[in-house]
Amino acid sequence: MKSYRSIYLEIYSLKNLALAWRKARKGKTRKQYVKEFEIGLFENLLEIQKELEKNIYFPKPLKHFILRDPKTRRISKSEFRDRIVHHALCNIIEPLFEKSFIYDSCANRKKKGSIKAIERLSTFKRKITNNLTSRGYCIKADIKHYFQEVDRTILFSILKRKINCECTLNLIKKILDNFEGVKGMPLGNLTSQFFANVYLNELDKFIKHKLKAKYYIRYVDDFILLHKSKKQLTSWKLKICIFLKEKLSLELHPDKSKIINFSKGVDFVGFRNFYYYRLLRKRNRKSMKNKNDILSTLKCGVSIG
């Protein structure tokens, strides 16, 4: 696998830090902490650049709060200057990993998203059911306590395969270690979203290249694997469980990981998907921000029940 040296200079370049600041402030320009940072914007960016260049940068402690929407989640919030560093890092290393991601990894990537995942599910569903004329099955699964259970040592070893730059790796380690315990990543960090894809890209490659499964889609830790044979899916599920445990120190959620007949409907990325239609789940209606969101969803052929 190709590795990349000397990318640290790009990370702390003033041009990249300015781009990172613009991304970090998007949608938050009225926040007081953003206004305060921008009072001395140039000086503050230079200070971050100096800390990174001299390898004396350390992130501030995370601030934690509970969010209920409707699931109860513990969100960890980074200081604004640290979010700029997160964007600066991802600006440079994300394109290096993007090339290795499978097409149907749909979360937190450009030109992807939940609607793209639903469109791919519709396409795959037609393929395994001979255009909806025969029976079809799927493994619908997610990872148990995914963000809390990511083994950061394993994650770091995966990152090292691609990044052969000691300073960049040291920066990544500082960001990862700014979270309590030896496992887990903070919900709410841009870097966590990116690292989540890097970590489960190992699962993606196993399913696509080792199991030779054609019809597989993943959205963060929520994934679906389709086939016309229930027996084949049963075999694959066992192999996936073994792989997750041995290679990534993870396990499937026992209550949310099942083999399902499509005729009964399958929950995936906020919709309940049936043979001929799909329904927006009740709890997801509230997350629709405005009428334009609903109209754009309807254009994709979604029924709202």
Looking at every residue in the chain, the average pLDDT score rounds to 90
Query: Does the pLDDT value for residue 42 go beyond 60?
Result: yes
Select the more confidently predicted residue: 275 or 254.
254
Query: Does the pLDDT value for residue 291 go beyond 80?
Result: no
Of the ranges 65-74, 177-186, 203-212, which one carries the lowest mean pLDDT score? Answer: 65-74
d(CA 207, CA 243): 10
d(CA 260, CA 239): 18
Of the ranges 28-32, 66-70, 102-106, 242-246, which one carries the lowest mean pLDDT score? Answer: 66-70
Provide the residue count of the chain: 305
Query: Does the pLDDT value for residue 282 go beyond 80?
Result: no
Q: Strands, E, within 212-283: which ranges?
A: 216-219, 222-227, 258-261, 266-268, 271-273, 278-280
3-state secondary structure 101-133: CCCCECCCCCCCCHHHHHHHHHHHHHHHCCCCC
The answer to whether the Cα torsion of 34, 40, 45, 48 is positive or negative is: negative
Of the ranges 52-61, 86-95, 294-303, which one carries the lowest mean pLDDT score? Answer: 294-303
Strand 216-219 relative to strand 63-68, pairing: unpaired
Contact status, residue 10 vs residue 49, Cβ threshold 8 Å: no
Question: Model pTM?
Answer: 0.89
Q: What is the dihedral of CA 292, 295, 299, 302, to 10 degrees?
A: 120
The pLDDT, as a whole number, for residue 2 is 57
| Section 159-184 average pLDDT | 95
